[in-house]
Amino acid sequence: MSVEDYQWPDFDFKLNSFNSTPKTSASAQDMLHKIEDFYSQKFNTPAYLFPSARAGLSAIFRFKNISRQHTLFAPKWSSHCVWDVISRYANPTSVHYPNIDLALVVHKWGYQFQTTLQDPSKIIHDSVDSIFTSYQLSLPSAEFEVLSLPKILGTFCGGIVFSKNKSFDQFMLQLRQNSSLGLATFQEKHKLDELKQTQIITTWQADEWRNFLLTEVALSNIESNLENNKRGVEVATKRLEIVSKKLNIDYLSIGSERLPCNIPLEVSRHHFKKPEMLIKRQFNFSFKNEMDSFLPAYLLPIHIGISEERFQAMLRAIA
């Protein structure tokens, strides 16, 4: 019997966040500005809201005029949404070479990875599931940094792009003016249908990369769950402290500026009494973005999408 993917808040958590969303009289434009101001002020960097991190990456690629003549790097075992959006524009590769056109530095599950790249114009920091504590971004070592709100807040959609490039601000105004609210409505409906069904319906993913607007439903859901930023830090901090007292995880590079959403436990370093309770994934324990040093690891989640009861049960399954 396989365990469902719990790397981030699951469908039930997202659905509950949607059902608890209060009705608001605020306009869509007011909610958009409030959400962007919330992140801009916390990170002291201009923030742009998208329907997803994938849509945010898509906008960045358009801004940079990325096309089939370009090759974009992402590490092995990057998520499907990364490969999907790269493939819409350029040639993807997991093999790094010196003259790569653009590279994603993927801070997997909130762990900071180092890159050999020196040119900020060729770097995008993928911090989609980082739980920030000090609100210090990896900029200015790159032009852009991206967050995923479903992975951090547990909302059903939303992504943030940070950039200090003033030309990107003008680009965003034009992009939103030329985008279709009808597409946003269609895409969100299919995404919500997936949350409300027992069977997974993935048709919405086909439009994720080309939708750049959010409806009032989506904006209200995000606005009403912004406090999960604080809650996420509190929960992850507490659970990380508990895990550190029980298990030796000194081999993990956990910084002070961000917390992980999962603790990847290298298989050879621990004894797993009930491995069937955990999912196994590959993780680069070198913490070097361009290095292929992946090893199997069982994941122990410490994010807000996992109940305290289930977290404790998973922890007891590890010696």
Average the pLDDT over 310-319 and give the result: 96
Answer yes or no: is pLDDT of 279 > 60: yes
Q: Which of 8-22, 70-84, 194-208, 278-292 has the lowest mean pLDDT?
A: 8-22
Q: What is the mean pLDDT of the chain?
A: 93
| DSSP β-bridge partners for residue 235 | none
pLDDT digits (tens, 9 = 90+) for 260-274: 999 999 999 999 999
Supply the pLDDT for residue 303. Answer: 97
Identify the band that residue 185 occupies on the pLDDT scale cut at 50, 70 and 90.
very high
**List of domains in the chain:** 1-179+213-319 (3.40.640.10)
Answer yes or no: is pLDDT of 230 > 90: yes
Identify the band that residue 24 occupies on the pLDDT scale cut at 50, 70 and 90.
low
Q: Which of 85-89, 192-196, 236-240 has the lowest mean pLDDT?
A: 192-196
Supply the pLDDT for residue 12. Answer: 58
